[in-house]
Amino acid sequence: MLDSRLKFLQSRAEDGPAELVGLEATGRFALTTEGVRTPRVRVLVRMAEGHGADDLAELSQHMGLTVHIRAGDVVGGEIGIDRLTELDESEAVSYVEASRPTLTELDAAVPETHADKVHTGPPGLRGAGVIVGVVDSGIDWRHGCFRDPTGKTRILRIWDQNLTPEAGEASPAPFGHGVEYQRSAIDDALSSPNPLGMVRHMDDSVGHGTHVAGIAAGDGSSAGNGQPEFTFVGVAPEAELVVVANRVTTEALGDSMGTLEAVGYVFKVAETLGRPAVVNISQGDNLGPHDGSSLLERGIDNLLDTPGRALVKSAGNAANAGVHATGQVTEGDSDVVSFLVPVGDDTPDTLDIWYSGADRISLRITPPNGTASVEIDPGTTSTEVDLSGGNKAFVDSVVHHSLNGDNRIYVQLSPGSQTAIRPGTWSLTLIGQTVADSGRWHAWMERGRTVPQFIGAHRNDETTISVPGTSRKVVTAASYITKGAGQGNLSTFSSRGPTRDGRHAPTLAAPGQAITSALVGAAGSSQYQPMSGTSMAAPHLTGVCALMFQSSPTLTQDDLVLLLTSSARLDPFTGGAPGDDWGAGKVDAAAAVDAIP
C-alpha cells in the first residue's frame, strides 16, 4: 500500500516536473528535483513478513531504491516517483510511507531534577563513558561547554546532512550523503586560526541544537551572562556527544527518513566504540495515526531492541495550538468540524483523519462562503476535488489501512487556480454511513509557517503529542515551569495524551520553560540564552538516562522507562499518576539512579 502523501505526489507528477519543483520549494515534501533525471522522493518502507536482505537488494537493483538505513523490517531510502507503483506492487513490500517534515518543539533545571545529587554522589555519576546523541539543527562545536578540562572536544562525531563533501571530506558509510567530521578533525579545527575553514558545520542562527546539547551534556565551564563558570551545567556534563544536523528547509528541520537515519547512525557509532548511547529528538510532526504504528516509530522501536540504547522525544508544544480535533458520528447523521485558514496561506495544507476500521465515514468540504463539495465515500482513493472559489483538494479515503487496520481520510488543500488557499472558516462534514464501533474520529493539522487551526467545539487539546512521541518504546517528555509565574505547574503549551489507541502519554515531565543553556555563536560574556519548549524538557531526561547508563550500561529502553516512571515525583501540581498531562510525574534523577538493581 502507498501512503496517501505519495499518491498526492504521483498525481502532481502527472502535471509535469514544474509542479514537483514548486512542492519541493515549500519545504513540506521530502523531494529531490535538481540534478536528477527523474524526481526522487524520500520514503520509509516496511518489508513484508518473510522478506529480507536479498529482496531488498533486488528492489535496489531493479527499481532504483537507494537504501540509507535499515531498522528491522523498516527501511529508509530514496526512489524515483515514477517507480513508486512498481515498488508498491512488489510482494516483498508491505507499506511505503512518505518521509514527512519534522519541526522543532520550541515555544516562542539541573537542581530541580536532582541530577546535582547524582553528580556529587555517592556514587558520583556525570555521564562518563556514555554517548549522548543529539539529532537536531546541529551544534556550535566551538562553544567551551562541549570541551573537556584539557580543552579538547567531547564531540566524537558530527554528521551534517546538509553539506556536500568537498576535498578531504567524506559522507558516513553506509548512508552516502552529507559530511561526517570526526573528533580529531574538530580538535584540529579548534586549534586553527580559521576553524570553520576546516570543519564547515555550523548550527543555524536560532541555535536550537546547541541549546539542547548544552542541557543534556554541557559542562558549564564557560563563564558568562553575569555568572561564574560552572553555573549552567548540563545533566550529564562528562558524556561524549554524537551530533546529527538534520536537513533544513524553509519549513522544517529534517524529515522522518532522515531522523531514522540519524538515530541509526548514533547507535552505529556507539556500537563501534562499545558504549551505551541515548539519543535526543526534540522535534516531530502532527500527521499519522498517533498510535505507534507509523514507520518512523516502528523503525525506532526496532532499533531500541538492543540493550544499552535509549531514545527520548519531546512531547510537543501543541496543547493550545489548535492542531487536533475530535468528535463522534452516529449512523445516518453527520458531524461538522470547522477550521480557520489564515490570510496568505499559499502552500498545501494537510489534514489527517483517522477512525475505527469497523466504521464507514464519508466527507464533504466547504470553503468559506462557498458551497459544499461532492460527498467523498470511504474507499475513494486519490480523488481531485474542485472547490468553489478555485481551490482544490486531494482526498485519499482508505479503508483498513495496512499500518493498523483502521480507516484514514487524508485531505490536502492547495491554492488551485488561486494564489492562496481562501482565508476564513472552512468546514468538514463527516457523515456516518456505517457505525459498527464508536463513530469516534480524530483529525490533525500539519504544522508550518502558515497553517490552519481547528476552532469551535471539536477543537481538542488532548492527543496532541507529536510523532514519533506516540511510539510504544520512546521516553516522551512533558514540560513544566521551574521559575517565575506558575512555578511548579505544567507548561500550558506542553502536548497532552493519551495516544489515539488509549495509552497513557507522555512518559513523565522535566523542566522546559525559560531554561538557560549554550548560545550559538557565543562571544565574550554572552555564552548562554534562555529558551522554552518541550524541546528543552527532553534533553533533561536524555541526560538522566546517560547517568543511569553510566551506572548500568546494559539497561534496556524498557528498563529505563520503568525506573524513570516508578521513581518520578508527585506533588500537588502533578496530582495522581499516571496521567495524560504529567505522565508519571516529575523526573527525579537521584531516585531513578538509586532504583537501579
Query: Quick one: pLDDT band at residue 229, thresholds 50, 70, 90?
Result: confident
The grid coordinates listed for 178 are 552529507
Lowest mean pLDDT among 107-121, 405-419, 564-578: 107-121
Query: Is position 460 within any domain?
Result: no
Residues 414 and 485 in one domain: no
| Residue from 119, 208, 290, 442 carrying the catalytic annotation | 208
What span, in angstroms and rounded, lies between the C-alpha atoms of 470 and 578?
A: 16
Among the options 3, 107, 136, 285, which is catalytic? 136
Q: How far is CA 140 from CA 186, 243, 267, 528, 551, in A?
A: 11, 10, 22, 12, 29
Using CA atoms, how far residue 267 sits from 68, 69, 151, 241, in Å, is: 14, 12, 26, 12
Single pTM value for the model: 0.94
Q: Is the same domain home to 264 and 151? A: yes
Percentage of the chain exceeding pLDDT 70: 98
Within a domain: 15: yes
Of all helices (H) and strands (E), which one includes residue 179? strand 179-182
Residue 22 belongs to a domain with what CATH number?
3.30.70.80
Pair 292, 159 in one domain: yes
Give the Å distances, CA to CA, from 103 to 111, 251, 255, 578.
29, 8, 8, 28
Q: pLDDT higher for 447 or 429?
A: 429
Active-site position among 4, 314, 532, 535: 535
Does position 226 have pLDDT exceeding 70, yes or no?
A: no
Average pLDDT over residues 390-409: 97
| Residue 148, pLDDT above cutoff 70 | yes
Residue 28 or 454, more confident? 454
Inform me whether the pLDDT recorded for 108 exceeds 50.
Answer: no
Domain C-terminal end among 400, 420, 455: 455
Question: What is the dihedral sign for C-alpha 132, 135, 141, 145?
Answer: negative
551: Cα separation from own chain's centroid: 29
User: What confidence tier does 24 reach under pLDDT thresholds 50, 70, 90?
Assistant: confident
Is there a domain that residue 310 lies in?
A: yes
Instruction: Provide the number of structural domains found in the chain.
Output: 3
| Residue ranges making up the domain that contains 24 | 4-99
Q: For all residues of the chain together, what is the average pLDDT?
A: 94
Of 99, 119, 144, which residue constitutes the final position of a domain? 99
- Looking at the fold, whether 61 and 18 belong to one and the same domain comes out as yes
Q: pLDDT by residue (tens digit) across 522-577?
A: 777 788 899 999 999 999 999 999 999 999 999 999 999 999 999 999 999 999 88
Provide the pLDDT confidence category of residue 487 given band limits of 50, 70 and 90: very high
Q: Is residue 462 part of a domain?
A: no
Residue 29: is its pLDDT beyond 90? no
Cell of 414: 492547495
Contacts of 523 (CB under 8 A, 6+ apart): none
Of 286, 303, 579, give the one whose Cα is nearest residue 454. Answer: 286
**Which of helix, strand or coil describes residue 269?**
helix
Q: Do 155 and 285 sit in the same domain of this protein?
A: yes
Same domain? 418 vs 539: no
Residue 271, helix vs strand vs coil: helix
| pLDDT bracket for residue 27 (50, 70, 90) | confident
**What is the Cα 501 distance to its own chain's centre?**
19
* Range among 46-55, 336-345, 441-450 with highest mean pLDDT value: 336-345
Boundary residue ending a domain (71, 99, 127): 99
Residue 272 lies inside a defined structural domain of this protein: yes
> Do 242 and 350 reside in the same domain of the chain?
no
pLDDT at 106: 55
535 catalytically annotated: yes
- Say if residue 282 is in the same domain as residue 178: yes
CATH of the domain at 242: 3.40.50.200
Task: State how far the Cα of 575 lies from the Cα of 163, in Å rounded to an integer.
Answer: 48
Q: Element (H or E) spanning 7, and its range?
A: helix 4-13
Say whether both 137 and 64 belong to one domain.
Answer: no
254 domain residue, yes or no: yes
Active site residue 177: no
C-alpha cell at 597: 538493581
Q: Is 136 a catalytic residue?
A: yes
Q: Do 241 and 130 belong together in one domain?
A: yes
**Amino acid symbol at 390:** G
**Residue 48 domain flag:** yes
What DSSP letter does each residue of 468-534 carry, written as one string?
A: TTT-SSSEEEEEE--SSTTTTSBPTTS-----TTS-----EEEE-SSEEEEEEEEETTEEEEEEBSH
| 310 shares a domain with 336 | no
User: Would you say residue 483 lies in a domain?
Assistant: yes
In this predicted model, what pLDDT tens digit does every residue of 176-206 receive, in sequence order? 999 999 999 999 999 999 999 999 999 887 8
349: burial class by Cβ within 10 Å (0-12, 13-18, 19+)?
A: buried
pLDDT at 406 over 50: yes
User: Could you tell me the CATH number of the domain that includes residue 346?
Assistant: 2.60.120.1290
Q: Do 161 and 256 fall into the same domain? A: yes
59-63, 381-385, 473-477: least confident range: 59-63
What is the torsion angle, in degrees rounded to the nearest 10, for the CA atoms of residue 421, residue 423, residue 425 and residue 429? -10
pLDDT, tens digit, 9 for 90 and up, residues 157-167? 999 999 999 99
